Chain A
Amino acid sequence: MSIGSVPLRYKITVDHDQCMLCGRCVESCPYGVFRIDREKIHVNSRVCVACHRCIAMCPRDAIDLTERPVDYRSHPLWTPQVRESIYNQARSGKILLSGMGNAMDYPVIFDRLVLDACQVTNPSIDPLREPMELRTYIGKKPSKLEFQKVNGDMVLKTSLSPNLMLETPIMIGHMSYGAISLNAQQSLARAVKEIGTYMGTGEGGLHESIYPYQDHMIVQVASGRFGVDINYLERGAAIEIKIGQGAKPGLGGHLPGEKICADVSSTRMIPEGSDAISPAPHHDIYSIEDLKQLVLSLKEAIEWKKPVFVKIAAVHNSAAIAAGIARSGADAVVIDGFRGGTGAAPRVFRDHVGIPIEAAIASVDAKLRSQGIRNEVSIIASGGIRESPDVAKIIALGADAVYIGTAALVAMGCRVCGTCYRGLCPWGIATQRPDLVARLDPDIASANVMNLIHAWTLELSELMGAAGINSIESLRGNRDRLRGYLLDEGIMRILDVKMVGA
């Protein structure tokens, strides 16, 4: 105990004049911040994670939360977080686990890019009156089309690869049942089906209750091969091979045994209570040739009926790797940027490994175009897409579509407290505890997610219309509609955008 206790991370105060002792805060908090005793709410701020459930449930706005109420001596280098990590590791000698996405204060490239709009010439388009084409096809496009004349009719000779048809270029990324609750997964699944887009299963198998939405599910094959059998592969609309993840590039995943309840064990097809360990590499992939073999084996298994995606984390060599993936037979490459979320990742990986999605997408798109193989794969961008302008900007940098993750969870109530790994999510999202899961009503949550994607899609149409663009195809890779604002020249060269005023 020589180090002593570190200061409170959050401080909860209750306004006892406002409080009517309804006890909702006590019920709401699975971390045990509140208790009611002798007609008064008592608080243990030490266990608070700032999930805001109590604040959202309090009918009298009687609860207040302050972050870091105790100051350390300020120092630009030895921040409170650095000091507390050292205290933690000095005590434990262990790797620090953290949740959600990158928490370092890196500059956000999206926020240094601005979009274009038309003035006078090339007039803008009003999406109210004019049709806006946001439909997106994910998959291989032929480099040329060949036709044959049969009895005076033109018949297509080129055989086309299977594509996914998206009504909007916004999909939901892979969050497994296990990482999130079944209610959360069902809510997302209902939303994507309704919208006409797709979502990923993560490496958690496909629960029976998701079968009605299977035509909108991208089933994942990751290094642990959990939940993977021929039925699973055949049910999905597409298959995604997960090589890496933006939140923890180079690592696999461990779902701890305590999260493997009976239902989770059935979809992952492993015994209840056992650790689900997804190793860092796939044991059958040590080269692009091996990756090709896995891509082809999956296609062969489903008789070439569905597209196969490959997801990698955005790292230094993403562009060259993506060029390899494009030649592996894959139909789409997913690039997951270093701001991508996760249920749990070692903090050093979450915060220090990988590169921003903006730079990765621009360089992947440029590399594929320079090699004349951009049509061989679609590019899906994920990791840190927060709002519709991010979608517009990343498409202008070369992506075909995006995966959102955290944003969809926020639409269901998530407050980005980053404590997913505790399995006690008070919003019923990142938990398997039945009473907490029951808090998430799939009727309401799916409507919320649908509203969000719908709203973004409307905004995207408006942004495109203002720029005089009526088809998403014309926005894709259209860097001329972007300008860099206070970005350095090196970054702008990578992004291939001009600076404002130029």
Chain B
Amino acid sequence: MKMIWAVIRPESAQRVIKSLDNAGIGGITRLHVTGHGKEMGITLGAVHYTEIPKEMLMIVVPDNDVAKTVMIIRTEAKTAIKNEPGEGTIGDGKIFVTYVEDSFAIRTAGKAGGT
């Protein structure tokens, strides 16, 4: 079982969630976070912003669904500049995958296969 943390643009979240839905991945936890990447934020005019609002999705899936889930997030969270479709833009986000050793559903107090 693996835990997937995806930091994505807030405006991409709905597309990602819809696609995950269609793929049968129902359990998602959402966090509103702020952060910056290696560009250290963004400068708009005279103002430099170091904290950019992002959406963090936490999804726990069985090992053999990891590739599918990551692919869906990558496809849906990638944004394109009009003239360069398919290239993606800075700030589209990152996906992290970590191990889950064990998982319990509180309702049944039993072992659970994922969220």
**Does chain A bind chain B?**
no
